[in-house]
Structure 1
Amino acid sequence: MARFQSNSGRRTGAVGLILFGTVWTLFSSAFVCAGLMATWRGVSQSAWDKVPCVIERFEIRADQKKNPVFEVDLKFSYEWQGKSYTGNQLRPGTKGDDEYQKLSEVREKLLLEAQRDKPEGLTTECLVDPQHPESASLLPPSGAGWLGLILVAFGGGFMLLGISIIRNGLKSRSQKALSDQASQASQAPFSMVIFFGIFAVAGLGVTFGVVIPGAMRYFAAQSWVETPATVIWSRVKSHSGESTTYSADLFYRYQFEGRTYRSNGYNLMSGSSSGRDTKQEIVDAHPPKSALTCYVNPRKPWQAIVKRDLGASALFALFPLPFLGIGFGGMFWSLKKRRAEKARL
């Protein structure tokens, strides 16, 4: 009787594992599908045909009431198979950006390459969709392919975990009582290795994708040139999500080596956080038309920030440590446990 109940309980547990693993895998596959679609879209758009084009207009418009705040007023002309077309897209599917310097950098690099002061009449290359030649952009999509690959890797890791859970459930249904220990020794640690491996990969991604580049920007900014500036606008910007966060948005102009530039760069770590009052204090201290000190990158003078110290954001460097500790520590523990279980059998 006891043996029957044991077998019945084991079968019930196996069915539960299979159902849970199936739901987990299906949910994770949504990230993989979204990532594959984004990757395909980015790669296909990057592979559009390059043709010569002439820029007729390239201005950056600023309007606090719009989203994004900064939009590119762009017009360029090109020919495709003997027919003339005009385009107005900087990148496929994007109108502008909330960071002025990202748009300014495109404009300034075009001027530097052509050794010109104004973009009007500048000859460069644009990307044309060969299937729909009326669709063209000056630049390929920004990071769409990489974002897609990250989603694929993220979802793929969780899919492997789900498949491993299903596999364990299927084997536990058919395993014999005498082989219980051997099966558990070979299956459970493998699932745990995948689980902890996801934490390890996440920690490495944040370390090499955010922390190290941020540290490099910090040390580089220490040599940027202190420059007087004038505030164009200042406001507290809210960001909606699971909870509302806030950031100080200061838009200012400055002169460097005889040229006038604009920027809304505030600090090295872009982002938002809770607490509106602290951001309002920053805005109140810098009303429109007031004087401001910024720091300008002498190699790329269209890049400027108001604060070049890290402040409390330096604590973000500690963020990946728990992921790395749990990930690599858990993988080591799982593999060690697996070897110990096999040695006992």
Structure 2
Amino acid sequence: MALEPGEAKWDAIRLPHKPDAPLSYRHVPGQGHLSTSHLLVFLNGLILTQAAWYEAVDFLQLRWAESHNTNRPSLLTYDRYGQAQSARDPADGLSDGDGGTHDVREVVRDLHVLVREIWKLKQHEDDAGTGNEDAVAPQPKLIFVSNSIGCVIARLYAETYPGAVDALLFLDSNMANSDLVSVFPDPDAKDFDPAVLPSDVTVEDLRHARAAYKKVFHPSVPNPEHLDRLNIAELLPYSDRPPLQGPEGGKGPWITVVGHDWETFADEGSRGTLKVPKSLTNAFMNPAWTKYNEGLVRLTDEDRVRGPIIARGCGHFIQRDDPAFVAELTEHLVKRVETGL
């Protein structure tokens, strides 16, 4: 049975390069030597905010308490600019009206500054009264737990700052190199063959599926945080390269790749806003997503990867559908970082 989320108090921080725009965050202190060297950061997608991680964090803390594990990293959740209680991103260029945007590279830069500021802030609090307040602490090694476009942010961060990321947990990563619409065949293409369609759907069903995905998921569709996604496919054109560099010389980071349950995802897509027949999702979208996940496991060394794992009974938002499973996966990844096994 799922736990009731614990006290979800969040704080606000103003980053030095954007002092007039507070970000909301929640920090949970760690224990042992990992608490002074590693930081576990949860990265949201476009729809769910940091609050969607709270139950998984509660389960993770419970697992550590029950196993008497006194060596664990600090935890950080946060809302990006434009999400929940966080301010609008000053990089959006509001002088151009409400349509200003920022891209994923700006998000990665903000995350880099946020990590440094949180680490400095918490180090200062720990050293309060010890006379070490002015000491400069080494920057933390990072473990990213991410969902949807949060996985894209985590991966681009690891590319941008080689060696800074120890481990990544990808929970149903967004297919960064796809507009999602073209995953379905184009019924108006000259070489289109209706025989590729499942027997229970029509060409009109296919047109509806493409239109529904274009309306909701295409990179050109605006979103509340004003994140411009149009250049993501250019920034990350392949699922399996370039390889990522971990902190240990020639070794890559530890990576766990998790995908949604085909049937759960297809069932959810058949209802609500999309109303796409399940057989269409299972014929085109789910195989493409699986192939993408199979590419992600090749971003690191073979002995440092786990997956792709299917999150049984979970749709796209795995942290919402099974937070206990996310806690289990996270604990396993932290152990691999700690032990090197």
TM-score by length of 1: 0.23
**Bigger strand share:** 1
**Bigger helix share:** 1
Q: Which of the pair has more CA radius of gyration?
A: 1
